[in-house]
Protein backbone atom coordinates (compact mmCIF):
# COMPACT_ATOMS: atom_id res chain seq x y z
CA UNK A 1 0.00 0.00 0.00
CA UNK A 2 2.09 2.87 -1.35
CA UNK A 3 1.79 6.04 0.77
CA UNK A 4 2.85 9.70 0.81
CA UNK A 5 4.17 10.53 4.26
CA UNK A 6 5.00 13.88 5.87
CA UNK A 7 8.60 13.65 7.08
CA UNK A 8 8.47 16.44 9.67
CA UNK A 9 6.67 19.71 10.37
CA UNK A 10 7.29 22.54 7.93
CA UNK A 11 8.28 26.20 8.36
CA UNK A 12 7.98 28.60 5.44
CA UNK A 13 7.22 27.34 1.92
CA UNK A 14 6.51 23.60 1.69
CA UNK A 15 8.82 21.54 -0.54
CA UNK A 16 8.52 18.17 -2.19
CA UNK A 17 11.39 17.01 0.03
CA UNK A 18 9.20 17.51 3.11
CA UNK A 19 7.28 14.40 1.98
CA UNK A 20 8.42 10.90 1.04
CA UNK A 21 7.02 7.86 -0.69
CA UNK A 22 6.69 4.81 1.52
CA UNK A 23 6.66 1.65 -0.61
CA UNK A 24 6.80 -0.85 2.20
CA UNK A 25 3.44 -0.44 3.97
CA UNK A 26 0.97 -3.33 3.70
CA UNK A 27 -2.78 -3.47 4.22
CA UNK A 28 -5.26 -6.33 4.61
CA UNK A 29 -7.93 -5.85 1.91
CA UNK A 30 -10.57 -7.41 4.15
CA UNK A 31 -11.85 -5.63 7.27
CA UNK A 32 -11.78 -7.57 10.54
CA UNK A 33 -15.09 -9.10 11.72
CA UNK A 34 -17.23 -6.57 13.63
CA UNK A 35 -15.48 -3.47 12.23
CA UNK A 36 -17.64 -0.36 11.60
CA UNK A 37 -15.09 1.06 9.21
CA UNK A 38 -15.01 1.24 5.42
CA UNK A 39 -12.04 0.10 3.34
CA UNK A 40 -11.58 2.11 0.15
CA UNK A 41 -9.41 2.14 -2.95
CA UNK A 42 -8.38 5.74 -3.60
CA UNK A 43 -9.00 6.98 -7.15
CA UNK A 44 -8.56 10.78 -7.19
CA UNK A 45 -6.87 12.90 -4.53
CA UNK A 46 -7.39 16.62 -4.07
CA UNK A 47 -4.58 19.11 -3.42
CA UNK A 48 -5.94 21.99 -1.33
CA UNK A 49 -4.28 25.11 0.12
CA UNK A 50 -5.62 24.44 3.67
CA UNK A 51 -3.35 21.37 3.79
CA UNK A 52 -0.40 23.75 4.30
CA UNK A 53 -1.74 24.60 7.77
CA UNK A 54 -1.78 20.91 8.62
CA UNK A 55 1.93 20.65 7.77
CA UNK A 56 2.73 23.00 10.67
CA UNK A 57 2.93 22.03 14.29
CA UNK A 58 1.03 25.16 15.30
CA UNK A 59 -2.43 24.52 16.69
CA UNK A 60 -3.79 27.78 15.24
CA UNK A 61 -5.38 26.14 12.22
CA UNK A 62 -8.98 24.97 12.26
CA UNK A 63 -7.96 21.41 11.38
CA UNK A 64 -5.53 19.11 13.18
CA UNK A 65 -1.89 18.98 12.13
CA UNK A 66 -0.73 15.95 10.15
CA UNK A 67 1.26 13.35 12.05
CA UNK A 68 4.86 13.14 10.81
CA UNK A 69 5.64 9.58 9.73
CA UNK A 70 1.99 8.92 8.82
CA UNK A 71 0.31 9.31 5.44
CA UNK A 72 -1.00 12.73 4.55
CA UNK A 73 -4.78 12.95 4.67
CA UNK A 74 -7.12 15.07 2.57
CA UNK A 75 -10.15 15.00 0.34
CA UNK A 76 -10.48 12.36 -2.33
CA UNK A 77 -12.73 10.17 -4.43
CA UNK A 78 -12.64 6.46 -3.64
CA UNK A 79 -14.30 3.11 -4.28
CA UNK A 80 -15.53 0.93 -1.42
CA UNK A 81 -13.72 -2.41 -1.31
CA UNK A 82 -15.13 -3.70 1.97
CA UNK A 83 -17.61 -2.20 4.41
CA UNK A 84 -18.56 -2.77 8.03
CA UNK A 85 -20.99 0.17 7.91
CA UNK A 86 -24.64 -0.28 6.91
CA UNK A 87 -24.68 2.87 4.72
CA UNK A 88 -21.98 1.56 2.37
CA UNK A 89 -21.44 -1.55 0.33
CA UNK A 90 -18.69 -2.93 -1.85
CA UNK A 91 -18.52 -1.05 -5.16
CA UNK A 92 -20.01 2.23 -3.85
CA UNK A 93 -18.23 5.40 -4.94
CA UNK A 94 -17.64 8.02 -2.25
CA UNK A 95 -15.95 11.39 -1.70
CA UNK A 96 -14.60 12.83 1.53
CA UNK A 97 -11.65 12.55 3.85
CA UNK A 98 -9.18 9.83 2.93
CA UNK A 99 -5.43 9.10 2.95
CA UNK A 100 -2.67 9.80 0.43
CA UNK A 101 -2.18 6.11 -0.24
CA UNK A 102 -3.53 3.42 -2.55
CA UNK A 103 -6.00 2.00 -0.02
CA UNK A 104 -7.38 3.57 3.17
CA UNK A 105 -9.43 2.46 6.12
CA UNK A 106 -12.01 5.16 6.93
CA UNK A 107 -12.87 4.89 10.60
CA UNK A 108 -15.61 7.54 10.53
CA UNK A 109 -17.49 6.56 7.36
CA UNK A 110 -20.46 8.76 8.31
CA UNK A 111 -18.31 11.73 7.16
CA UNK A 112 -18.20 10.34 3.60
CA UNK A 113 -20.59 11.45 0.86
CA UNK A 114 -21.97 8.74 -1.39
CA UNK A 115 -21.60 9.57 -5.09
CA UNK A 116 -24.94 9.28 -6.85
CA UNK A 117 -24.33 11.01 -10.18
CA UNK A 118 -21.76 9.05 -12.18
CA UNK A 119 -22.54 10.52 -15.61
CA UNK A 120 -20.09 13.37 -14.90
CA UNK A 121 -16.30 13.02 -14.52
CA UNK A 122 -15.62 11.32 -11.17
CA UNK A 123 -12.71 13.67 -10.51
CA UNK A 124 -15.27 16.51 -10.28
CA UNK A 125 -16.00 15.29 -6.75
CA UNK A 126 -12.61 16.72 -5.71
CA UNK A 127 -13.68 20.08 -7.16
CA UNK A 128 -16.92 21.45 -8.53
CA UNK A 129 -19.00 18.62 -6.99
CA UNK A 130 -17.01 18.45 -3.76
CA UNK A 131 -15.46 20.70 -1.13
CA UNK A 132 -14.29 23.57 -3.42
CA UNK A 133 -17.69 23.68 -5.15
CA UNK A 134 -19.45 23.96 -1.80
CA UNK A 135 -16.94 26.66 -0.81
CA UNK A 136 -17.77 28.78 -3.86
CA UNK A 137 -21.50 28.22 -3.35
CA UNK A 138 -21.64 29.00 0.37
CA UNK A 139 -19.07 31.79 0.24
CA UNK A 140 -20.77 33.57 -2.64
CA UNK A 141 -24.51 32.98 -2.27
CA UNK A 142 -24.87 32.49 1.49
CA UNK A 143 -22.35 35.08 2.65
CA UNK A 144 -22.53 37.76 -0.07
CA UNK A 145 -26.22 37.54 -1.10
CA UNK A 146 -25.40 38.93 -4.58
CA UNK A 147 -27.84 41.10 -6.49
CA UNK A 148 -28.12 41.70 -10.19
CA UNK A 149 -25.90 44.52 -11.41
CA UNK A 150 -23.50 44.43 -8.47
CA UNK A 151 -19.73 44.77 -8.93
CA UNK A 152 -17.82 41.64 -7.91
CA UNK A 153 -14.08 41.08 -7.55
CA UNK A 154 -12.49 37.61 -7.13
CA UNK A 155 -8.82 36.91 -6.32
CA UNK A 156 -7.08 33.59 -7.18
CA UNK A 157 -9.88 33.70 -9.71
CA UNK A 158 -8.90 30.78 -11.95
CA UNK A 159 -8.43 28.23 -9.15
CA UNK A 160 -10.63 25.44 -7.85
CA UNK A 161 -12.94 27.86 -6.04
CA UNK A 162 -12.42 31.11 -7.97
CA UNK A 163 -13.37 29.80 -11.42
CA UNK A 164 -16.78 28.89 -9.97
CA UNK A 165 -17.34 32.14 -8.09
CA UNK A 166 -16.83 34.10 -11.32
CA UNK A 167 -19.34 31.93 -13.18
CA UNK A 168 -21.86 32.15 -10.31
CA UNK A 169 -21.47 35.94 -10.37
CA UNK A 170 -22.27 36.03 -14.10
CA UNK A 171 -25.28 33.75 -13.59
CA UNK A 172 -26.46 36.25 -10.95
CA UNK A 173 -26.22 39.13 -13.43
CA UNK A 174 -23.21 40.77 -11.76
CA UNK A 175 -20.20 42.49 -13.32
CA UNK A 176 -17.16 40.42 -12.35
CA UNK A 177 -13.41 40.98 -12.52
CA UNK A 178 -10.79 38.40 -11.52
CA UNK A 179 -7.09 38.46 -10.70
CA UNK A 180 -4.63 35.65 -11.34
CA UNK A 181 -0.87 35.18 -11.61
CA UNK A 182 -0.18 34.37 -15.30
CA UNK A 183 -1.27 35.48 -18.76
CA UNK A 184 -2.63 31.98 -19.45
CA UNK A 185 -4.90 32.22 -16.40
CA UNK A 186 -6.03 35.74 -17.29
CA UNK A 187 -6.99 34.50 -20.77
CA UNK A 188 -8.95 31.63 -19.22
CA UNK A 189 -10.83 34.03 -16.95
CA UNK A 190 -11.98 36.15 -19.86
CA UNK A 191 -12.42 33.53 -22.58
CA UNK A 192 -13.54 30.43 -20.68
CA UNK A 193 -15.13 31.44 -17.39
CA UNK A 194 -16.88 34.57 -18.67
CA UNK A 195 -15.25 37.15 -16.41
CA UNK A 196 -15.93 40.64 -17.78
CA UNK A 197 -12.33 41.66 -17.11
CA UNK A 198 -9.23 40.09 -15.61
CA UNK A 199 -5.68 41.11 -14.77
CA UNK A 200 -2.34 39.58 -13.79
CA UNK A 201 -1.69 40.92 -10.28
CA UNK A 202 2.04 40.15 -10.63
CA UNK A 203 2.32 42.75 -13.40
CA UNK A 204 0.56 45.54 -11.53
CA UNK A 205 2.74 48.03 -9.64
CA UNK A 206 -0.10 49.71 -7.76
CA UNK A 207 -3.05 47.43 -6.94
CA UNK A 208 -5.11 50.35 -5.65
CA UNK A 209 -4.83 52.11 -9.02
CA UNK A 210 -5.54 48.83 -10.83
CA UNK A 211 -8.78 48.29 -8.93
CA UNK A 212 -9.80 51.91 -9.54
CA UNK A 213 -9.30 51.26 -13.25
CA UNK A 214 -11.55 48.17 -13.28
CA UNK A 215 -14.06 49.46 -10.72
CA UNK A 216 -14.46 53.21 -11.21
CA UNK A 217 -17.66 52.96 -9.13
CA UNK A 218 -16.19 50.66 -6.48
CA UNK A 219 -16.66 47.01 -5.47
CA UNK A 220 -19.86 45.62 -3.90
CA UNK A 221 -18.61 42.08 -3.30
CA UNK A 222 -15.06 40.84 -2.79
CA UNK A 223 -14.47 37.08 -2.73
CA UNK A 224 -11.22 36.93 -0.77
CA UNK A 225 -8.84 34.09 -1.55
CA UNK A 226 -5.42 35.68 -1.08
CA UNK A 227 -5.26 38.34 1.70
CA UNK A 228 -2.26 40.62 2.23
CA UNK A 229 -1.67 43.52 -0.20
CA UNK A 230 -4.68 42.59 -2.31
CA UNK A 231 -7.06 42.86 0.65
CA UNK A 232 -5.50 46.18 1.58
CA UNK A 233 -6.14 47.56 -1.92
CA UNK A 234 -9.67 46.13 -2.04
CA UNK A 235 -10.65 47.78 1.26
CA UNK A 236 -9.96 51.24 -0.22
CA UNK A 237 -12.14 50.41 -3.22
CA UNK A 238 -15.19 48.91 -1.52
CA UNK A 239 -18.58 50.61 -1.82
CA UNK A 240 -20.90 51.45 1.03
CA UNK A 241 -22.64 48.29 2.33
CA UNK A 242 -20.10 46.08 0.54
CA UNK A 243 -19.60 42.46 1.51
CA UNK A 244 -16.33 40.57 1.77
CA UNK A 245 -16.45 36.78 1.87
CA UNK A 246 -13.24 35.85 3.70
CA UNK A 247 -12.66 32.44 2.17
CA UNK A 248 -8.88 32.16 2.24
CA UNK A 249 -5.64 34.14 2.47
CA UNK A 250 -3.13 32.01 0.61
CA UNK A 251 -0.49 34.77 0.44
CA UNK A 252 -0.14 34.44 4.22
CA UNK A 253 0.04 30.66 4.66
CA UNK A 254 3.83 30.35 4.38
CA UNK A 255 4.74 33.42 6.41
CA UNK A 256 5.94 33.07 9.97
CA UNK A 257 4.03 36.22 10.80
CA UNK A 258 1.18 37.47 8.62
CA UNK A 259 1.47 40.83 6.81
CA UNK A 260 -0.24 43.57 8.74
CA UNK A 261 -3.24 44.72 6.69
CA UNK A 262 -3.84 48.47 6.46
CA UNK A 263 -7.06 50.27 5.49
CA UNK A 264 -9.30 48.36 7.91
CA UNK A 265 -10.96 51.64 8.90
CA UNK A 266 -12.96 51.48 5.63
CA UNK A 267 -14.94 48.63 7.20
CA UNK A 268 -16.46 51.16 9.57
CA UNK A 269 -16.89 54.17 7.32
CA UNK A 270 -18.45 52.18 4.47
CA UNK A 271 -20.46 49.76 6.64
CA UNK A 272 -18.68 46.80 5.08
CA UNK A 273 -19.57 43.32 6.28
CA UNK A 274 -16.56 40.99 6.19
CA UNK A 275 -17.37 37.42 7.13
CA UNK A 276 -15.14 34.40 7.35
CA UNK A 277 -16.42 30.85 7.06
CA UNK A 278 -15.36 27.22 7.03
CA UNK A 279 -17.05 25.26 4.28
CA UNK A 280 -17.86 22.26 6.48
CA UNK A 281 -20.34 24.47 8.37
CA UNK A 282 -22.42 24.52 5.18
CA UNK A 283 -22.35 20.83 4.21
CA UNK A 284 -26.04 20.51 5.12
CA UNK A 285 -26.66 22.55 1.94
CA UNK A 286 -24.89 19.98 -0.27
CA UNK A 287 -28.10 18.39 -1.62
CA UNK A 288 -29.44 21.87 -2.51
CA UNK A 289 -26.16 22.73 -4.21
CA UNK A 290 -26.24 19.48 -6.22
CA UNK A 291 -29.76 20.30 -7.39
CA UNK A 292 -28.46 23.59 -8.72
CA UNK A 293 -25.10 22.54 -10.15
CA UNK A 294 -25.78 19.20 -11.88
CA UNK A 295 -28.24 20.69 -14.41
CA UNK A 296 -25.90 23.64 -15.00
CA UNK A 297 -23.06 21.24 -15.84
CA UNK A 298 -25.26 19.08 -18.08
CA UNK A 299 -26.66 22.09 -19.93
CA UNK A 300 -23.12 23.38 -20.50
CA UNK A 301 -23.92 26.56 -18.55
CA UNK A 302 -20.97 26.07 -16.26
CA UNK A 303 -17.53 24.67 -17.03
CA UNK A 304 -14.75 23.39 -14.83
CA UNK A 305 -11.03 23.17 -15.51
CA UNK A 306 -8.80 20.67 -13.76
CA UNK A 307 -5.04 20.31 -13.65
CA UNK A 308 -4.48 16.57 -13.46
CA UNK A 309 -1.27 14.72 -12.61
CA UNK A 310 -0.93 10.97 -12.85
CA UNK A 311 0.17 8.66 -10.01
CA UNK A 312 0.52 9.04 -6.27
CA UNK A 313 4.23 9.84 -6.65
CA UNK A 314 3.29 13.15 -8.31
CA UNK A 315 1.19 14.31 -5.36
CA UNK A 316 3.89 16.12 -3.31
CA UNK A 317 4.97 18.30 -6.26
CA UNK A 318 1.33 19.00 -7.12
CA UNK A 319 0.53 20.10 -3.56
CA UNK A 320 3.60 22.31 -3.29
CA UNK A 321 2.77 23.83 -6.70
CA UNK A 322 -0.37 25.49 -5.29
CA UNK A 323 1.85 27.99 -3.48
CA UNK A 324 3.68 29.13 -6.60
CA UNK A 325 0.56 29.14 -8.78
CA UNK A 326 1.78 26.21 -10.90
CA UNK A 327 -1.74 24.73 -11.07
CA UNK A 328 -4.13 25.90 -13.77
CA UNK A 329 -7.56 25.11 -12.33
CA UNK A 330 -8.39 22.47 -9.74
CA UNK A 331 -5.31 20.40 -8.82
CA UNK A 332 -6.15 16.69 -8.94
CA UNK A 333 -3.92 13.60 -8.52
CA UNK A 334 -5.03 10.43 -10.29
CA UNK A 335 -4.13 7.38 -8.21
CA UNK A 336 -6.30 4.94 -10.15
CA UNK A 337 -9.18 5.40 -12.57
CA UNK A 338 -11.29 2.50 -11.31
P1 LIG B 1 -6.43 27.33 -6.14
O2 LIG B 1 -6.84 26.25 -7.02
O3 LIG B 1 -6.84 28.74 -6.48
O4 LIG B 1 -4.84 27.27 -5.98
C5 LIG B 1 -4.14 28.23 -5.26
C6 LIG B 1 -3.83 29.46 -6.13
O7 LIG B 1 -3.54 30.56 -5.28
C8 LIG B 1 -2.58 29.30 -6.98
O9 LIG B 1 -2.81 28.65 -8.18
C10 LIG B 1 -2.14 30.74 -7.17
O11 LIG B 1 -2.76 31.26 -8.34
C12 LIG B 1 -2.72 31.47 -5.95
N13 LIG B 1 -1.64 31.92 -5.07
C14 LIG B 1 -0.67 31.16 -4.51
N15 LIG B 1 0.14 31.94 -3.76
C16 LIG B 1 -0.33 33.21 -3.87
C17 LIG B 1 0.08 34.46 -3.33
N18 LIG B 1 1.14 34.58 -2.52
N19 LIG B 1 -0.63 35.57 -3.65
C20 LIG B 1 -1.71 35.46 -4.46
N21 LIG B 1 -2.15 34.32 -5.00
C22 LIG B 1 -1.47 33.20 -4.70
O23 LIG B 1 -6.91 27.05 -4.65
P24 LIG B 1 -8.42 26.86 -4.15
O25 LIG B 1 -9.36 27.43 -5.14
O26 LIG B 1 -8.57 25.47 -3.72
O27 LIG B 1 -8.46 27.79 -2.85
C28 LIG B 1 -8.60 29.19 -2.96
C29 LIG B 1 -8.66 29.81 -1.58
O30 LIG B 1 -9.82 29.35 -0.90
C31 LIG B 1 -7.48 29.47 -0.69
O32 LIG B 1 -7.11 30.63 0.04
C33 LIG B 1 -8.04 28.42 0.23
O34 LIG B 1 -7.35 28.35 1.44
C35 LIG B 1 -9.46 28.89 0.39
N36 LIG B 1 -10.42 27.87 0.80
C37 LIG B 1 -11.17 28.10 1.92
C38 LIG B 1 -12.12 27.22 2.34
C39 LIG B 1 -12.94 27.54 3.55
O40 LIG B 1 -13.64 26.67 4.06
N41 LIG B 1 -12.92 28.77 4.03
C42 LIG B 1 -12.33 25.95 1.64
C43 LIG B 1 -11.53 25.81 0.42
C44 LIG B 1 -10.61 26.74 0.04
P45 LIG B 1 -2.17 32.53 -9.11
O46 LIG B 1 -1.40 32.01 -10.27
O47 LIG B 1 -3.38 33.27 -9.51
O48 LIG B 1 -1.29 33.28 -8.16
ipTM: 0.99
Distance (Å) from CA 43 to ligand 1 centroid:
23
Q: What is the pLDDT of residue 176?
A: 98
88 falls in which pLDDT band (50, 70, 90)?
A: very high
* Cα 221 to Cα 258: distance, rounded to the nearest angstrom: 24
Report the range of poorest mean pLDDT among 131-135, 259-263, 288-292, 308-312.
Answer: 259-263
Q: What is the pLDDT of residue 258?
A: 84
Give 21-49 as a DSSP string. EE------SSPPTT---EEEEEEEEE--T
Residues with CB under 6 A from ligand 1: 48-50, 132, 135, 156, 159-162, 180-182, 185, 225-226, 247-251, 277-279, 322-323, 325, 327, 330
* Cα 77 to Cα 304: distance, rounded to the nearest angstrom: 17
Give 193-220 as a DSSP string. S--SEEEEGGG-S-HHHHHHHH-TT-EE
Q: What is the pLDDT of residue 59?
A: 67
Name the strand (E) or helix (H) holding 95.
strand 93-99
pLDDT at residue 148 above 80? yes
* Residues 291, 262 contacting (CB under 8 angstroms): no
pLDDT at residue 174 above 70? yes
Mean pLDDT across the stretch 258-269?
Answer: 94
* Cα 301 to Cα 164: distance, rounded to the nearest angstrom: 11
Minimum-distance ligand 1 atom for the alpha carbon of 49: 34
Residues 6+ positions from 210 with CB-CB distance below 8 Å? 199, 201, 204, 233
Mean pLDDT across the stretch 87-98?
Answer: 98
192 three-state secondary structure: coil
Angle made by CA atoms 169, 170, 171, in degrees to the nearest 5: 90
Angle made by CA atoms 140, 224, 314, in degrees to the nearest 5: 100
Amino acid sequence: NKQIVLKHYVNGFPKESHMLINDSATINLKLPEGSNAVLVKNLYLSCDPYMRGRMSESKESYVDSFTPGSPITGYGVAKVIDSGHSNFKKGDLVWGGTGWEEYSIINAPETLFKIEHTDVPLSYYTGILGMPGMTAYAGFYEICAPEKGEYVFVSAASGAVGQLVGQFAKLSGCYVVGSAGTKEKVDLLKNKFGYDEAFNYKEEQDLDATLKRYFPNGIDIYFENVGGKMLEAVLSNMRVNGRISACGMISQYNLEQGDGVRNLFHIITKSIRMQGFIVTQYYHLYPKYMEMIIPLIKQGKICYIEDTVEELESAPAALVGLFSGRNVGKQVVVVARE
